[in-house]
A and B are shown apart, each in its own frame.
Chain A
Amino acid sequence: MSHASTLQVLGRDTPRQDGVAKVTGREKYASDMSLPGMLVARVLKSPHPHARVKSIDTRGVSDPQAVTLTPQEVPGIRFCPRLVSTPEATYKDWRVLTDKPRYVGEPVAAVAAESEEAAQRALEAMRVEYEPLAAVYDAFASMEEGAEPIHDVIELNDQALKVERNVACQMEAREGDPEEGFKAAAHVVERTYRTSRRYHAQLETKSVLVRPEPGGGVTIWSTTQTLHNTRILIHEIFGIPMGRIRVVKVPLGGSFGSSIQVNTVVPIAVALALKSRRPVKLSLTREEDLHDHCSYQMVFRLKLGADSDGKLVAGHLDAWLDIGGHQVQAYPLLGCVVGWWVSLYRLPHKSYVGKAVYTNKVPSCAFRGYGNPQITWAVETLMDELAEKAGVDPLDFRLMNYIGKGDLFWGQGPTVKSIIQSCGVEEILSRGSEMIDWYNRPKAGSQRGRYRRGVGMGRGYHTSSAGAPVPGTVVDFGGAMVKLNEDGTFDYVSAMMDHGGGTMDANAKIVAEELGVPIHKVNIVNADTGTTVYDVCTHASRGIYSGGGAALKVARQVKDKIRENAARLLDAYPHALKFRYDPERDQAVIYAEGVSGRELTFKELAYAMRHKNLGTVAAVDSYRQPSCPPHFTGYFVEVEVDTWTGRVRPLRVVAGADIGTVINPKLAAGQVHGGFAQGWSMVVNEDLPHDPATGDLLNRGFLADYKVPTTRDMPNLDDFTVFFTDTYEPTGPFGAKGIGEGALNPVAGAVANAVQNALGVRFYDLPITKDMILAAVGGKEGQA
């Protein structure tokens, strides 16, 4: 019997609470908001990839309503826009406006005026004199002796830090004796892998609205994954007391990590609002948004060795991260890259050297998976090759070596370690392989003719939060408030953000499950920094495991208080009271079994408490997760390669996921569908090259030249199967884990392995372009 069978609310599809607002167009995103008397801002961005600003002349701005802002007018402090690590792991190299732009598009000045058009005209009337500097677009060239320094001095833990050879930060790790390990290995494969720079293409561009308040405070509505870190950063930059900074939750039009950090536009808009004493709105155009953020481009040199039985014995990884012009916490990413790698397969001996390198390109930030899709692609590709060398089926090879229940897990880096307590890897792989008929897939390279089919698989995981039994360098806790209203409904309040996956609904359902009421009895209340306790950020697929954990903790406290108060009113013992739901009255009931008349509905309880001045039943608390459970995923993908055009099509997808207890089945499957689309596109489409002649993006920021999948690029409904394993995470709320990032991480590996199976050719660069495929199959050969 499934563990889920006793659940009342969880595991069933329920309409999301924000659904009506979203389908009727009434949902107001940050970019939809406006205020009376508001000014509209535009940002003056550097046209140079690397330069010194010699002067900014605003005298040409004739509009008397226009308010300009230059680097001299903003606080001169260095900061890091992403605040999820302790100070010794947080490198600071940003300013609100820069006088030394380090990428094309870096904000140099800004202006706010009565309309967007007026602001743009004022912007064009400003004169900036630049002294161009040499620019570098490649991480390896950047590290060379004599390369132009991109940053001289940055800050770490309040100390100035000199940057050497444009290396932003680095990390090394080692366990066992890798050199000896490799000597003992019967089979060794070493390869170099290169990923692309991808753009999040979240559908809503970054946007912010700031209202200056009497008394020097500000209210902020912005695209963000973290209300509280936004408040902390604005406090740090402007010195405004935190109680006077109110950051209000607004729905996100997609994010995928792009708003983990406080967006560059936020402090600019705050400075303009403070200066103009008017509300200021600042929304990026799509072209500007493309110049604002992208994923990390990574180069890996990966080496794995296995013994003659097919057991992995040793591994070494060199990772170079091209981070662009600034750090958005590249240091914890170096920890995650090694963490993702070593937590996939058991490696008794291993070593790692990771370097994050500045280049004069758009700064990289977290993008769904935070490096995990990149390294998992490399590992899953190499695992196939190594299996082949060892003469083992790739699927069996994985089963022999994967890290699962009882093993040590440190996906979120060397300071976030815990033991895995639930694992559905075997179920994913056995059910998935059956559905795709794995063992009868074509032999690699055996096909001729124009169209060739291939089946590949890849597996992986992501963490659910960055929890652990002991603190490390990663900050991760959240909180919630639940209160009983006078009609027997509950309000659930949390600073957690919903990116669209239904996180807040899931957590409300956890509250409902614990309190024994249907979901329509729990309202998700919009909130802000003043009405919520701290929550670090909605990232790391922590929404349900951490946010739901907090909701459950608080709901239990509320339940205890209901018991105590009801006991007093019913003249009964609190621990003897029972709960049931009465559908006729649509009320939960607390009662003393067998004693007639000794019962109260939640509504009656709240009413009586009000009239007797007993107070509100409510609880608010913080919650730190004790563990960091991986949610596991596996993909089996069948592709068809057109060897005349180089086009690859997905024919069939089978995806399995171990997310513990499933809370919203359709939305959870939706995470897998969306994850597949992004991972697919990572292999066949997405890259953001820079033009070395200008330093600008080759596509100049136009979405027309950055293709993401459309309806026609995905497999048919019948050819896309998603299944969930029957697993239960003992440390999760009602057994639940995350899903958001694991849904993506193994896709690229599975697709790349399918292409290899179709063609008999392996690629080590992403994306696998049509040209690469045509070159590999020798053009004409396919036509024979």
Chain B
Amino acid sequence: MKVTMTVNGRARTFDVEPNRLLLNLLREDLDLTGAKYGCGMGECGACTVLLDGEPVMACMTLAVDCEGATIETVEGLSSGEALHPIQEAFIEEGAVQCGFCTPGFIMATKALLGESPEPTEPEIREYLKGNICRCTGYVNIVKAVQRAAEALR
């Protein structure tokens, strides 16, 4: 099946099987491996990307359902060497350990700050509850989100 979508600002057309997952399309066809496979069943959020600005789990999204959609992945967040403030904040606050969860958290954070530029701590925790990080205990991640919110204000 033919499907056309905009990925990180570029219009793309793919010929896909109806059961092709968005996650595999991004990772295998476009080498956009920032979105990770962590569970394949919507439990970990490592595969989080933005679909028309909304965070979705790419492992639970069919490529054919993305017809006409705009997809943003972590690779599209910054241009050249200049980092996006969310990316800066994650580094600055030590929110990155192994980094495997980081792209998912960063994309979820982008959606959160789009919806709510000054989130309270409970709001941050509520919004990010679908993203698992096994390394950080979330403290530095929550701080990074607060720092990013401040930087973007």
Contacts and interface: CB of A to CB of B under 8 A. Distances in A.
B148 to A, nearest CB: 11
Interface residues of B, number: 58
Contacts of B41: 286, 702-704
A252 B143 contact: no
B43 A704 contact: yes
Interface string A194-207: 00000011111100
In this complex, the member of A13, A22, A702 whose beta carbon has the largest number of chain B beta carbons within 10 angstroms is: A22
A674 B97 contact: yes
Nearest to A677: B137
Nearest to B132: A708
In this complex, the member of B81, B98, B132 whose beta carbon has the largest number of chain A beta carbons within 10 angstroms is: B98
Nearest to A25: B34
A217 to B, nearest CB: 27
A472 interface: no
A203 B100 contact: yes
A377 B142 CA distance: 29
Contacts of A670: 94, 97, 135-137, 139-140
Contact of B75 (A24, A501, A703, A708): A24
B44 A703 contact: yes
Contacts of A201: 132, 134
B14 to A, nearest CB: 16
Interface in A234-265: 251-256
Interface stretch (A74-82, A582-590, A711-719): A711-719
A202 B140 contact: no
Contact of A25 (B33, B96, B142, B143): B33
B27 interface: yes
Interface string B118-140: 00010011101111111111111
A500 B142 contact: no
Nearest to B77: A24
Given A25-B74, A500-B98, A19 B91 contact: yes
A710 B108 CA distance: 14
A670 B91 CA distance: 12
A32 B142 CA distance: 27
Interface string B91-112: 1111011111111001000000
Interface stretch (A476-484, A551-559, A661-669): A661-669
Nearest to A702: B41
Contact of A203 (B28, B36, B77, B137): B36
Nearest to A203: B100
A281 B133 CA distance: 25
Chain B interface helix/strand/loop/mixed: loop
A716 B138 CA distance: 10
B92 A710 contact: no
Interface in A12-26: 13, 15-16, 18-20, 22-26
Contacts of A25: 32-35, 73-75, 103
Chain A interface helix/strand/loop/mixed: loop
B134 A254 contact: yes
Contacts of A256: 134
A252 B106 CA distance: 19
B83 interface: yes
B114 to A, nearest CB: 18
A283 B152 CA distance: 38
A203 B98 contact: yes
A669 B130 CA distance: 24
In this complex, the member of A28, A702, A711 whose beta carbon has the largest number of chain B beta carbons within 10 angstroms is: A711
A251 B98 CA distance: 8
In this complex, the member of B27, B38, B141 whose beta carbon has the largest number of chain A beta carbons within 10 angstroms is: B38
Contacts of B44: 203, 703
B99 A253 contact: yes
B16 interface: no
B37 A31 contact: yes
Nearest to A704: B43
A24 B39 CA distance: 21
A666 B94 contact: yes
B74 A24 contact: yes
A29 interface: yes
B130 to A, nearest CB: 8
Contacts of A22: 96, 99, 102
Contact of B83 (A16, A23, A252, A703): A23
A711 B129 contact: yes
A351 B35 CA distance: 52
Nearest to B128: A711
Contact of B97 (A23, A24, A667, A676): A667
A673 B83 contact: no
A254 B91 contact: no
A24 B141 contact: no
B116 interface: no
Contacts of B106: 23
Interface string A685-703: 0000000000000000011
A199 B136 CA distance: 17
B74 A254 contact: no
Contacts of A252: 98
Nearest to B24: A116
Contacts of A398: none
5 contacts: A253-B100, A283-B37, A670-B136, A704-B41, A711-B128
Given A19-B90, A672-B137, A674-B97, 7 more contacts: A32-B27, A500-B96, A669-B94, A703-B43, A710-B129, A711-B129, A712-B126
Pairs A-B, 9 closest by C-beta atoms: A25-B34, A500-B98, A253-B100, A673-B137, A666-B94, A22-B99, A500-B97, A677-B137, A32-B33
